[in-house]
Chains A and B, each alone.
Chain A
């Protein structure tokens, strides 16, 4: 069956995702989009101006369209639908046949009919091309004004602010966000926004736009006032793109929009309409979640499964210009007999309102400005008609004793309760995932996809996960091991705050028993992160894992590998020769590592000190390949040599590696620095990734390779070196402080409540006020650095430990090598047996 989808926006793409997920092999699908690019996240458009590229906003994973039955045509606007012949014609003249057709044409920005609205530098805010126009205009402008103070208008205002313009918002209604937020909330929102330096003009009806005296434009209002500005962006509403439907005779609503029934079918049974172009139950939904619901409904219908779209809740929680705003259900209290509770705190600029049914038992709606932590709870109460407590005002009043408000008893929620609306995940789905072993937020996100889009449901999903774990008898405990009733984070805190300097002291004060191979190395790492003592001091020696004890990576046969540090992957010819000579002298196997340095294998424990002595004499120091520490800073050669490089990546890599070598952390750390966007150092797969641009360094964080690779995320852009180092110092120390044992930055980031926004707030905005502290702690680590091998070879007591036998100079007889590809390797058990057999034959 041939399926054509007109429009490849967010909702159109969700339809494709739903079909692909369900198999849908019986459809040949062609998607026709008028834009030059595939579906991208229009909700987060403003991030384009805070560093996210158009490619990063894409919603389409690589390879999505590699399927045989799925074809995407871009830059091709459908211009005509012939319902009798069942064909569509696009702007290139191509005619395509369909059995079923889905209209996902979305909407267009409404530009009010104001004389002058077609002047140059009057723009709209919807597509990436619009953003590029804004960016170009922004370079010539000082003042930017958005006409429209609704949800999208305020998003646009943020974009103007990120462009560095003096920003104004002009709104026709008496208050901002008049659809979702009541007058009092709108006032509070206005106050908060004005405090951020954005000027707000409400109750303004723009009559005309003319040339300005010193600015590009002058906006003339009906009340006689005016506003001078260089750029105007219209964000005064959206109009559904129903022109194709009108032209081919489908039923259209009185004020536009393609009429659909509860299965999202239009007046033609073979044609569906979803998203902002559709009029369902008399409503056009301007939010993405209802659009997704419609997409899922049509996907089901196309596969013959019964599904209806019964309308959608338009409750929403978002951050506008950094202000939390939430709107639930009947926010304006229009339901007959409803009553409201309101709480206003003018000092903290917080406003909360509950709209309650006449009988007082049910929540009908609400508004929150400035603080919206209770949103998840209130939404579930409203959607599931859970009876309110006798004094519902306490749901929004602050707790007198400063403790967190008790959450909704999640037991009260039915299994069908939709917890994550972006990805349609119910309570039942989450409980099933927990039973199948998802007992961290990271695991829950990857099995169910809950919390992976807007992230708003994460607090409630976490609560649910813990409740379910307790119900199923799983211990919700993050004790390190049987010896300490604390998590790693708690132990770290105790060590720092009480100045504990040894495992013995920690065990005596806060633990019991002898310790074990879990808590000893974890403690050793914490002590090293805090105090950076020499790890082989007697009081620390007994708690080091073998790698840290012998300062090498133990291999399967009990020998060790030797890795001298080559910062940034740079080494002189003399250095290479020295390493080669050492390898040859001791008969070691040599290999280049992924971290751009040389690894030497086959060193017996008693050979290690002499090997290192020679390497140290040649100017090398330990590469910490054995530690939960900084391994390498991978680099490309960068602007010094490369014709494409725009930054000295090699130089920065060398500097970073020297700065952070020796830092002990919950797990190993790997950095990368690329000199341009070609990214030859693969920095986006690293814990810290840095890419040079013409305007400075872009910093990416929390990428990991390993069993479950994760791409790093853009953290901050256009940084100068000093700021870059400051952020990295803080980031690393915060990770060291708060992560779990053996938790890599990717998992740590996935499990951080508040996610990347929280991390940015802590590191960049210093929300917890610990920035200076973290920097000082890092400075101590940097200043107290000393090469451990240097210390080990020069301290006779330490050197003595590097023997296989305490009472003999003999070597370990179990170590046996054979030749392979011109070098050595450990003998396999079969090879050993063969050799043993021959020996006994010889002996006989």
Chain B
């Protein structure tokens, strides 16, 4: 049982084109990481696997907002996942895990 976060550096900040996502392999886990320019360059990280579509593709989705929520639309069926909470707007039972992520020393760090 870990009570602290174990950070792994995955890539340089400038490897993520603003308003897109990349996928990192962290401890055997596929993590989708997004850099959202419109939210002051904030980083978000969720599971890369779309449980509804059954494919590891969320990092390739279109980033945007629906109302107050910052979301990514899965490329397969365009279901929307809240980047802060991992909630799936169309089907709550398909919520995904959220990962801590931060930028430091020009790199992107994820805890998974």
**Distance of A558 Cα from B61 Cα, bound (Å):** 12
Q: Do B75 and A482 touch across chains, with their CB atoms under 8 A apart?
A: no
CB within 8 Å for A517 and B78 given contacts A482-B66, A546-B61: yes
Cβ-defined contact, A513 with B64, below 8 A: yes
Of chain A, the residue at the smallest CB distance from B33 is A806
Residues of B within 8 A of A542 (CB): 17-20, 63
Chain B residue nearest in CB terms to A804: B23
Tell me if B56 is interfacial: C-beta within 8 Å of chain A.
Answer: yes
Flag the segment in A17-25, A45-53, A740-748, A808-816 that touches B: A808-816
Option from A482, A513, A810, A814 in Cβ contact (under 8 Å) with B55: A814
Q: Per-residue CB proximity of A527-567 to B under 8 Å, as 1/0?
A: 00000000000100111011001100010111000000000
Residues of chain B within 8 A of A557, CB atoms compared: 54-55
Measured between C-beta atoms, what is the minimum distance from A551 to chain B in Å? 13
B100: Cβ under 8 A from any A Cβ: no
In the complex, which residues of chain B have a beta carbon less than 8 angstroms from the beta carbon of A296?
none
Query: In B1-24, which residues have CB < 8 Å from any A CB?
Result: 10-11, 15-20, 22-24
A543 contacts which chain B residues (CB < 8 A)? Answer: 19, 62
Cα of A185 to Cα of B105 in the assembled complex, Å: 84
B53: chain A residues at CB < 8 Å are 556
Min CB–CB distance A626 → chain B (angstroms) = 12
A interface secondary structure, majority:
loop
The answer to whether A829 has its CB under 8 Å from any CB of chain B is yes
| Complexed CA–CA distance, A515 and B67 (Å) | 10
Name the contact of A513 in the complex, choosing from B18, B23, B65, B73 (C-beta under 8 A): B65
Please tell me if the beta carbons of A807 and B36 are within 8 angstroms of each other in the complex. no
Please determine whether B64 and A558 come into contact, CB atoms closer than 8 angstroms: no
With A and B bound together, what is the CA distance between A806 and B18 in angstroms?
Answer: 15
Q: How far is the CA of A520 from the CA of B73 in the complex (A)?
A: 11
Q: Which of B10, B56, B66, B70 contacts A814 (CB 8 A)?
A: B56
Cα distance A88–B38 in the bound complex, in angstroms: 82
Q: How far is the CA of A494 from the CA of B39 in the complex (A)?
A: 26
Residues of chain A within 8 A (CB-CB) of B54 are: 556-557, 829
Q: Say whether A549 contacts B60, CB under 8 Å.
A: yes
Q: Are B66 and A807 in contact (CB under 8 A)?
A: no
Whether B17 lies near A517 (C-beta < 8 A) is no
In the complex, which residue of chain B has the Cβ closest to the Cβ of A800? B15
What residues on A are CB-neighbors of B25 within 8 Å?
Answer: 805, 807-808, 810
Task: Decide if A521 is an interface residue (CB 8 Å cutoff).
Answer: yes
Interface size on B, residues (CB 8 A): 38
Q: Please tell me if the beta carbons of A541 and B78 are within 8 angstroms of each other in the complex.
A: no
Whether A404 is near chain B, meaning CB under 8 Å from some CB there, is no
A514 within 8 A of B: yes
Q: For the complex, what is the distance from the CA of A513 to the CA of B73, rounded to whole Å?
A: 16
What chain A residues lie within 8 Å of B17 (beta carbons)? Answer: 538, 541-542, 801
Q: Does B99 interact with chain A (Cβ within 8 Å)?
A: no
Nearest Cβ distance between residue A483 and chain B, in whole angstroms? Answer: 8
Render B63-106 as a binary contact track against A, CB cut-off 8 A, 1 for contact.
Answer: 11111001101011010100000000000000000000000000
Q: Which chain B positions have C-beta within 8 A of A813?
A: 56
With both chains docked as a complex, state the minimum distance between the C-beta of A462 and any C-beta of chain B, in angstroms.
31
Instruction: Assess whether B60 is in contact with A514, with CB atoms less than 8 Å apart.
Output: no
Which residues of the partner chain B approach A558 to less than 8 Å between Cβ atoms? 55-57, 76
B49 lies within 8 A of chain A by Cβ: yes
Candidate in A483, A543, A558, A804 with the most chain B CB atoms within 10 angstroms: A558
The yes or no answer to A196 lying at the interface (CB within 8 A) is no
B56 partner residues in chain A, CB cutoff 8 A: 558, 804, 812-814
Whether B64 and A517, one on each chain, are in contact in the complex, defined by CB atoms closer than 8 angstroms, is: yes
Question: From DSSP, what is the main secondary structure of chain B's interface residues?
Answer: strand
CB pair B62 A517 closer than 8 Å: yes
Least CB distance from A828 to B in Å reads 10
CB of A516 within 8 Å of the partner chain: yes
Contacts of A515 in B (CB 8 A): 38, 64-65
**Which residues does chain A contribute within 8 Å of B10, judged by CB atoms?**
806-807
Shortest Cβ distance from residue B43 to the other chain A in the assembled complex, whole angstroms:
13
Closest to B66 in A: A516
A376 to B74, CA, bound (A): 48
Measured CB to CB, the nearest residue on chain A to B20 is A542
> How far does the alpha carbon of A110 sit from the alpha carbon of B71 in the complex, in Å?
74
How far in angstroms is the closest Cβ of chain B from A812?
5
The answer for the CA separation of A807 and B33 in the assembled complex, in Å, is: 12
- The chain B residue with its CB closest to the CB of A806 is B22
Contact B63 A514 (CB under 8 A): yes
Complex Cα–Cα for A520 and B19 (A): 11
A503 and chain B: residue at smallest CB distance: B19
CA distance A516 to B61 in the complex (A): 10
Residues of B within 8 A of A810 (CB): 25
A554→B16 CA distance, assembly (Å): 21
Distance between Cα atoms of A327 and B38 in the complex (Å) = 61
A514, A521, A556, A808 — which one has the most chain B CB atoms within 10 A of its CB? A514
Query: In the complex, A550→B57 CA distance in Å?
Result: 12
Contact with B along A57-93 (1 / 0, CB 8 A): 0000000000000000000000000000000000000
The interface bits of chain A over 494-522 (1 if a CB of B lies within 8 angstroms of the residue's CB, else 0) are: 00000000000000000001111101110
Whether the Cβ atoms of B23 and A806 lie closer than 8 Å is yes
Whether the Cβ atoms of B60 and A550 lie closer than 8 Å is: yes
Distance from B86 Cβ to chain A, minimum over Cβ atoms (Å):
18
Pair A514/B38 contact, Cβ less than 8 Å: yes
Q: Are A814 and B49 in contact (CB under 8 A)?
A: yes
The answer to whether A805 touches B64, judged by C-beta atoms less than 8 angstroms apart, is no
Q: B67: which A residues are within 8 A, CB to CB?
A: 482
B107 to chain A, nearest CB (A): 10
Q: Which residues of B sit under 8 angstroms from A520, Cβ to Cβ?
A: 62, 64
Q: How far is the CA of A514 from the CA of B66 in the complex (A)?
A: 9
**A554 CA to B66 CA in the complex, in Å?**
24
A521 to B75, CA, bound (A): 12
What residue of chain A has the Cβ atom nearest to residue B62's Cβ? A517
Which residues from A are CB-within-8-Å of B23?
804-806
Give the nearest-CB partner of A808 in chain B: B25
On whether the beta carbons of B73 and A517 are closer than 8 Å, the reply is yes
- For residue B105, give the distance in angstroms from its CB to the closest CB of chain A: 16
Q: Find the B residue at minimum CB distance from A814.
A: B56
Complex Cα distance, B46 from A507, in Å, reads 26
User: In the complex, how many angstroms separate the beta carbon of A48 from the nearest chain B beta carbon?
Assistant: 48
Distance A344 CA – B15 CA, assembled complex (angstroms): 72
The answer to whether residues A545 and B62 also contact, given A804-B23, A806-B24 and a CB cut-off of 8 A, is yes
| Alpha-carbon gap, A542 to B17, bound state (A) | 7
CA distance A541 to B19 in the complex (A): 9
Instruction: List the A side residues contacting B20 at CB < 8 Å.
Output: 541-542
Q: Across the interface, do B75 and A545 meet the contact criterion of CB distance under 8 Å?
A: yes
Shortest B6–chain A CB gap in Å is: 16
In the assembled complex, the CB of A87 is this many whole angstroms from the nearest CB of chain B, namely 66
Contact partners of B60 in chain A: CB under 8 A: 546, 549-550, 554
A513 to B36, CA, bound (A): 12
A512 to B, closest residue via Cβ: B65
* CB-defined contacts of B18 to chain A, threshold 8 Å: 542
B18, B38, B64, B65, most chain A CB atoms within 10 A: B64
* A554 x B57 contact (CB < 8 A): yes
Question: What residues on B are CB-neighbors of A801 within 8 Å?
Answer: 17
**Interface of chain A residues 821 through 844 with chain B (CB within 8 A):** 829
> How long is the Cα–Cα vector from A580 to B16 in the complex, in angstroms?
36
* Complexed CA–CA distance, A538 and B19 (Å): 10
> Contact check: which of B19, B57, B71 meets A546 at CB < 8 Å?
B57
Known contacts A517-B62, A538-B17, A558-B57; can you find 9 more A-B pairs with CB under 8 A? A514-B19, A514-B38, A516-B62, A517-B73, A541-B20, A557-B55, A806-B10, A814-B56, A829-B54
| 26 contacting pairs across A/B (C-beta < 8 A) | A515-B38, A516-B66, A517-B80, A519-B64, A520-B62, A520-B64, A521-B62, A538-B17, A542-B17, A542-B18, A542-B63, A546-B61, A554-B76, A556-B55, A556-B76, A557-B54, A558-B55, A558-B57, A805-B23, A805-B25, A805-B30, A806-B15, A806-B23, A808-B24, A812-B56, A814-B30
State the A residues within 8 Å of B (CB): 482-483, 513-517, 519-521, 538, 541-543, 545-546, 549-550, 554, 556-558, 801, 804-808, 810, 812-814, 829
Which 3 A-B pairs give the minimum distances between C-beta atoms? A516-B64, A546-B75, A542-B19
